[in-house]
Amino acid sequence: MTKCLIIGSGIVGLSTANQLIKNNFQITIVDAEKKGQASRSAAGLLFPLNPWTNTEYLQNLCMSGHADYMNFFDNLILEDKKKLNFYQKDLIIFGKNLQKAKKWYENKTFVESNFFNGLVNELEKNIKDEYKNYLVIKNINIIDPRSLIDFYKIKLKKCNVIFKKENIENLSNLLKEPKYKIYDYIIITTGAWSNDLIKNEKIKVKPIKGQLLNFKSSKKILNNILLFDDYYIIPRDKNNITIGSTIEDVGFDSELTLSAYTYLKNSLSKLFSNEIQLQNIQQTFGFRPFSYDNKPYINFDKKDKRIIYNFGHYRYGILTAISSAKIVNDLIT
Ligand SMILES: Cc1cc2nc3c(=O)[nH]c(=O)nc-3n(C[C@H](O)[C@H](O)[C@H](O)COP(=O)(O)OP(=O)(O)OC[C@H]3O[C@@H](n4cnc5c(N)ncnc54)[C@H](O)[C@@H]3O)c2cc1C
């Protein structure tokens, strides 16, 4: 039986395991439980934000990610669908990126998009009057990433996947240790921390911190996801909304900052009319795995075919996790 060690139990590691168990692989997942795991702090949009800024490789991965999640949800039983807190909303794009978005979506058939020349108030009554000219993308998928992680963990444990808390300091040392010689493949899914582990100068990933705010309102104030140049707002259940997210090149600094709070809160105040009262309920952060090549590394290590990389998904790791897992699966089966 093929034995795999997966290092990192964020969404990429879990999705990879979920794919590989279909081949009856024996899987062990180790995780150091680092502070700031990206997957638990993600907003959960299963859709690319500004796809035209991405490499073609990443654009394709995002589009297949969209299709993969549709299949994934179609095959779930109703009870699991509810547990995963999966829902669909339309996405409204405003601002400087509008023309680029309009052009990019024009030839795309995987979603329906419509441009509107006028005020948005018909769709969003609580927004101030000046917001006009927008693109609507129909039926965007959203999930609560924490529910997805919990769902995968329960499922994988039932399929005899072993989970261990362990910090792997150095990959080359690990390869020399007898207890790891039993593994046919070692799959690296350590997100923003991958450089620290693999120490390969040709592969460069760094953390880009993102902070999000969750607010509660006394009544429903938002129907759609809104995307502006520098932030997005997502309607949640029970009249909650999420606004995100900051893009901070500050290394592994794990402080929740007042500047992030003020920036995101002010963005909301500019948008909603003054009578809307919002109560802040949570501020969270995570480290996105930014790849200098603007695409994730999903491949064998050049020197050692026992090692497989699957990291560097930056802002799209939830969306592209299933597609990336399928690539890993194709590499080793
Ligand atoms: C604020 C924010 C909002 C986001 N919103 C979205 C969104 O809406 N849609 C979307 O698709 N993406 C979104 N992202 C991006 C997405 O979260 C990431 O791309 C994705 O979570 C990366 O997953 P991962 O499994 O590679 O990394 P992680 O989730 O960070 O997991 C890596 C794991 O590896 C472990 N690890 C690291 N080093 C070691 C080691 N040496 N030994 C053992 N274990 C180790 C860590 O403990 C961690 O658990 C968002 C990110 C942030 C921060």
Residue nearest to atom 50 of ligand 1 (CA): 42
| 299, β-bridge pairs | 309
Residue nearest to atom 27 of ligand 1 (CA): 191
Residue 79 three-state SS? helix
Ligand 1 centroid vs 288 CA: distance in angstroms? 6
Give the C-alpha separation, 12 to 153, whole Å. 12
Q: Which atom of ligand 1 is nearest to the CA of 44?
A: 8
Domain that holds residue 288: 3-332
H-run or E-run covering 23: none
Q: How much is the average pLDDT of 49-60?
A: 93
The predicted-structure confidence for 148-207, as pLDDT tens digits, reads as follows: 999 999 999 999 999 999 999 999 999 999 999 999 999 999 999 999 999 988 899 999
The predicted-structure confidence for 237-292, as pLDDT tens digits, reads as follows: 999 999 999 999 999 999 999 999 999 999 999 998 887 888 888 999 999 999 99
Ligand 1 centroid vs 219 CA: distance in angstroms? 33
β 113-119/87-93 pair status: unpaired
Q: Where are the beta strands (DSSP E) in 57-197?
A: 87-93, 113-119, 132-142, 162-165, 185-188
Ligand 1 centroid vs 11 CA: distance in angstroms? 7
The predicted-structure confidence for 16-36, as pLDDT tens digits, reads as follows: 999 999 999 999 999 999 999
302 has pLDDT over 80: yes
Q: How much is the average pLDDT of 136-143?
A: 94
The pTM is what? Answer: 0.97
What CATH number should be reported for the domain holding residue 201?
A: 3.50.50.60
The predicted-structure confidence for 201-230, as pLDDT tens digits, reads as follows: 889 999 999 999 999 998 899 999 999 999
pLDDT at position 120 is 87
Q: Which residues line ligand 1 (CB under 6 A)?
A: 7-13, 30-34, 37-39, 41-45, 167-168, 189-193, 197, 210, 212, 244-245, 286, 288-289, 311, 313-319
The predicted-structure confidence for 77-120, as pLDDT tens digits, reads as follows: 988 888 898 899 999 999 999 999 999 999 888 899 999 988 88
Q: How many domains does the chain have?
A: 1
